[in-house]
Every structure is written in structure tokens, then in C-alpha cells.
Amino acid sequence: MSTILKGREWWSAMTGERRPWLLGKAARQLSVAVLTWLAIAAIFSGTLLSQRIDVHVGDLAPRTVYAPYGVVDWGATEHARKEAMASVGRVLTVDRHVLDRARQQVVNRFNLLSALSMDKAAPLKAREAVAAQDIPINLPAAVWGQVLRLPPNAANGISILEQQAMVIISSVLGNEDVRNTPVALTFARDGAAQLAADEQADPGLRLFLTDFTRNLISPNTFVNHTATHERRQLAASRVPLVKILRGETVLVQGQRVTANDIRVLRELGLLSRGINVAPYAGSLLLSAVLVGILGGYLWFQRRGLLQETTEVAATGAIFVLFLLGSDLLKNFSVVSYLMVPTAAVMIAVLYDAGLGMILAGVLSLAIAALTDASITVALVSFLGAVAGVLGVKRLAHRYDILWAGVAVGAVNVLGLAGMDWMQGASLAQYPVWQGLVYAAVDGLLAASLAGGLLQLVEGPLGLVTAMKLIELSNPNQPLLRKLVVDAPGTYHHSMVVGNLAEAATEAIGGNSLLARVGAYYHDVGKSKRAYFFVDNQFGGENPHDDLPPNLSAVIIASHVRDGVELAKTHHLPEALVQFIREHHGTTLIRYFYDKALQSDTGDGVVEEDFRYEGPRPQSKETAVVMLADASEATCRTLKQPTTAVIEQTVRRLIADRLHDGQLDESQLTLRDLDTIARTFTRVLTGVFHQRVEYPEIEKE
């Protein structure tokens, strides 16, 4: 249900139904996302454009070209398919009807010869002429006469010749594939002649049998064009696509450019003539996915960061700049494991550890896609970045970021060694050792580079990083030294308030370091007129005793304006100025207000004249400092600071601020207030615990 309500709030903001001022902010955030998307796509596309080349068929390649991504080499694939089809021979089919027809002709022709042989009434020459005319073989008349003089059914008669002819025809056409070619026909007919010689010893009859059977030998084997086409198509379909893999050499410098090379270059979008939109469309799509993941994390997990255009723009700028840097330095293997941890550490220190991890994952994959890095580089970079983010999650000292660099280097080395072992590499090999050294060095460089870049960007972006806060918490800071010298009581009070605020803010999940340092500076304005504040009077004369209440209230309230002026003079970040401006909110200066009521002569007392200018606390951290300031000052006056009394006092003060509306804009919940009360009680009990009163020892 909460997600639905938030979605409705967003829709109302976008459509202007409620809070129309959000429309401008949403438009700015959307503009930042679009610009980041286009910048990332431009980097990917720029890499493709830088690889384009202008060559023609027959030119010598001016440089070696590598495939930026995988593509099918259709020219080589087609050539391979043609070779596969050519390797498939033609499918031959034997026509058995050829043998049947030849046998039938043998029967028919020998029936004619038998009839002519038995027709004794006709002259032999007439019968020879009929036989020569009806049986188209070129035989001498003497051979025809010899055949016709044979008895039809005798042991050596015409029927024997018929059987011999049938055997020869069946042997040649039944057992051999006679193709329709001159060579095949000649070979088959020569085979028939050889069989005729084996069957018949008489020269004349052998000549008859040879010519008779040769005349009946015809092709019985033919090409099956349909089956041949099907087999060749099947062979072509089994040829795998010839692919050009990412990083594969497309052109070698100095080689002659072929038509297929031109086709491949055009397919890859590397030919300067014409435009292949596919790579650029892919760049836009991939970039949209990368930006969508970052935006999705912010929307669902850290929506508060989306309220500030600066934070969103800085996140996008860091992503784009480190992606571009990786592209420019991709030929230097020494920086393989540097970019991703550096960017992730910067985001974690500037904004959020979770956002740093998400950016590490997305950036490592984007760099791998852009620079053709191996999965090992992408994985090790991500693991090192996660170690760096975890290392800077709790920055307490400036050198902690260097220890985070050590953690990055150690994880880089362990991750890379594990990948090398898993892939069967030996640590004794020089390239493996070189990679491990680079991984360790990159970890240390990542921390150093992140620390240096953070100092460059925090000023222009108006940001306050953990390292900056650590630096400002140093007692040697000019403003804190001024507070020590001019208002030592206020300084001590601020230190205690800082401890209270840090403990309570950490308990409710806020920025504890910011709360502590903000508490150090919240009362810095008292150093201008320190003697007007009771914590710096040390039991001496109180100048307010001689001043009217309204003037005393003005002096007391002025320490806020004085503090803001001092903070701006000393160039404190705006995040700390907010603590000075908001730590009293618009609360009532009750002591002098009550004093004014008591001394009122009838003119009346205006309550607004005795309130601080504000504004009320706008964040959890400034609200906690307000409560810690009041709790510490009040508990210091307790005569019997037991745990119960301290807790009662703290809860009463928190309730007063809550009922006065001072916490309405601080985003604190009732559960947070209960946690703050319990934390204050625990810390203040340790500060103001009762001590044993030791008796004085009388001197002799």
C-alpha cells in the first residue's frame, strides 16, 4: 500500500495535481538521466566511430582492424555452403524398365528371325533383306544368311542365340549402371562384345551376337535432379554460420582488401561509407539499461537522494567520466583494476554505500563491454570495489581511506589468484605474477585517487564528505581553537553534545559523523560574546542582571547569527552552517520571557520577540543536535542526576520540542524519539553520574 501511495504522490507531482513545485524538480532529474544516457551512448558510439576505416576493394589495409563485437560473416558462410553443396555428388537413379524393354526387343527380334528361318518358300536373299530392314544392325548379308539357315529350335539353332543374347543383355543392364555418357556407353557395349565372344565360338555368329546386343545397350542410370537438390540443400543447412568473434582480426595491415572484407566491415559498421544503425541502436539500448538500473536503485531504495539534483548529476558524471577514462586507458593493463573501485569509493563517501555497490556492478560490466575486458577483469574489479565501499562505510580518520585501499588491493589479489587457479594457470608464470602486482597496486591507487578527487569535487558541488568532516573535527581548526580560547565552557559543552548526537544519530540510522561535527560548531557564535552565556561565566558576575529581558533575549538569540557569520567567514560547508542555524529552531527563550512577564508594567509581552529566528530543524541530524543541546544543558543543572531523573528530564525536553512543533520538519518518527531518549539517558548517566564524597584528611 505504501508503494501505491508513493506512486500516487509521484503522479500527482508529475501531473501538477498537488505540489506543482515538484514538477520542475522531476523535470530536472529526468533531464540529468537523459543527459547521462546520451553521454554513455556517445562513449560507446564514439568507440565504434574511431574504429571505422575508408577502404575499397583492392586497397592495402592502412591498419589492422579488430571486430568490436561479434557478427556473422555472411560471405564466408555462403562460400562454405557452396563448397558443401559442391562436395555432394549427383544422385543417380537406375531405371529398371530399360532392361525390361531390352529383353522384350530380344524376344520380338528373335521371333522375327525364327519366322524367317521357317519360311522356306521365300528366297534366302529376300529373307535376309527383311531381317536387315527390321533389325537395324549393320551386318554383312552372309552373316544374316548364316543366322537364317539355322533351325529355330535345334540345339544349335536360333533359340540358343536368343538365350545367349538374353544373358548378355541381362548381365550388362541388370548388373551395371550405364550412365548416359559416351564413355559409359562404350564401356557397357564393349562389355557386351566380350560376353558375346565368350558365348559364341563361331566367328559369324559371334559377330551377329556382338552387334545385336550392342544395339540394345542403352543408358539405364540417370541423374535424379530433385534428390540431388535436396541433398545439397541439406548439406548447406548443416554448415554452421561463420562468425567473426569480438576482438578477432578483420583486416591485417598491408593485406589486400577483398569484396568479402568490405562486406564484413559494412556489417560491423566499421566502413566509413554509409551508416549501419544497428551498433548505435544497441549502444542506446544498453546505455538505457545502465541508467535505468542506477535510477531504479535510487527510486526504490534511496529516494531521498533523488530530491537533490546535485547528487543525481554528480553520480551520473562520475559514472560517465570513469567509463570514458577506462576507454581512453584501455591499452594500459596497469589500470585494469583501478577505475571501478575508485568510482565506487567516491560514491560511497559522497552519498551512500549501497549506491556505491550498485554503481560498481554496473560500471564493471559497462567497462567490460566497452573495452573488451575479460570476465576476470570485470569480476575482480567489482569485488575490489565492494571491499572499498565496505572499507569506507565507517570513516573515522583520514587514514581510514588508505586502509580501504589496502582492502581493495587484498581482495583484488585474492580474487585474481582464485580466477587464475580455477582456469588452470600457475602462479609461477610471469604474466600471472604481473597481474597480481597490478591488482595490488591498483587497490592502493584507487584509494589515493578517490581521496584526491573527493577534495576536488566536494567544494564545487557543495558537498561535505566524511574526510572533510574528519578534517573539520580536528581541535586545531581555527574556529574550534577560537572557541577553546574565547569560550572554553561552550567548547566543553559542544564536545559533550557531539558525543550525545553521534550516539543517538547512529542508533536511528542517521549520519553520525555529520551530527558529531555539526554539534562541535553549533554554538560557535557564542565565542563573539562569550561572557553573556552562563557556561562561560564560571560563577562570576552575570551581565544580564543589569539588562532588560528583551535586550538579553536579543543578545542570546544573536549567537545564531554570529555563528553563521563566523562559519561563512571560515568557509565552513553549508551542511555545518545548517546546524548553527537550526539547532534552536524557533524555540522560546523561556528564562527571559518569564522574566519579562514578571517585570511587565502593563505594556504587554510579545512572545515572538523572545523566540529564535529559526528555521526549525530540516534533517534528523540537526534535530538530534537540538535535543542533545537542550538535554546536556538541562541535565548539567540537576542536583541529583540519577538515571531515572535524567531519563525523566530528557523525555520531558523531547516532548516539549515535539509539542512546540520544532520537530515537524525533521523526518524523525516517534520510534526515533524513543531511541534518542534512551541513548541520551545512557550517555548522560555516564557523564553526570554521582561520585563518592571523599573526607578531607586533616594535616598534622
Each residue's pLDDT tens digit, 264-286: 777 776 776 656 677 778 888 98
Work out the burial of residue 280: count CB atoms within 10 Å of its CB; fewer than 13 is exposed, 13-18 middle, 19 or more buried. middle
Per DSSP bridges, beta strands 92-94 and 221-223 are antiparallel
User: 379: how many CB neighbours lie within 10 A of its CB?
Assistant: 17
Query: pLDDT at position 11, please?
Result: 35
Burial zone of 429 (CB within 10 Å; 0-12 exposed, 13-18 middle, 19+ buried): exposed
Which three-class secondary structure state does DSSP give residue 179? strand
Question: Tell me, what's the pLDDT at 381?
Answer: 87
Mean pLDDT within 146-165: 78
DSSP string, 521-553: HTTGGGGTSGGGSGGGTTTS--GGGGS-HHHHH
Q: What is the pLDDT of residue 662?
A: 92
Is the pLDDT at 1 greater than 50? The verdict is no
List pLDDT tens digits, range 274-333: 566 777 788 889 889 989 998 888 888 777 677 667 778 888 888 999 988 888 887 777
Cα–chain center distance at 374: 13
Residues 6+ apart with CB under 8 A from 458: 350, 464, 465, 468, 573
Residue 360 CA to residue 342 CA, distance in Å, equals 9
Residue ranges covered by each domain of the chain: 2-45+279-462, 92-223, 473-687
Q: What percent of the chain has pLDDT over 90?
A: 15
Q: Is the pLDDT of residue 23 over 50?
A: no
Residue whose C-alpha cell is 573526607: 695
pLDDT at 14 over 50: no
Can you list the pairs that 297-305 forms with residues at least 24 positions away whose Cβ atoms lie under 8 Å? 297/354, 297/355, 297/358, 298/355, 301/354, 302/351, 302/352, 302/354, 302/355, 303/6, 305/351, 305/352, 305/355
Q: What is the pLDDT of residue 656?
A: 93
pLDDT digits 0-9 by tens, 380-391: 888 988 988 888
pLDDT at 396: 62
The string of pLDDT tens digits covering residues 472-511 is 888 889 999 999 988 998 899 999 999 999 999 999 988 8
| Residue 490 DSSP class | H
> Which CATH number applies to 473-687?
1.10.3210
pLDDT score at 622 = 93
Q: How far apart are CA 533 and CA 542, in angstroms?
A: 8
**Which of 426, 409, 420 lies closest to 374 in space, CA to CA?**
420
Q: What is the mean pLDDT of the chain?
A: 81
What value does the mean pLDDT take over residues 157-165? 82
By the 8 A CB rule, do 647 and 697 touch?
A: no
Rounded CA separation 516/624 (Å): 10
What predicted TM-score, i.e. pTM, was given to this entire model?
Answer: 0.60
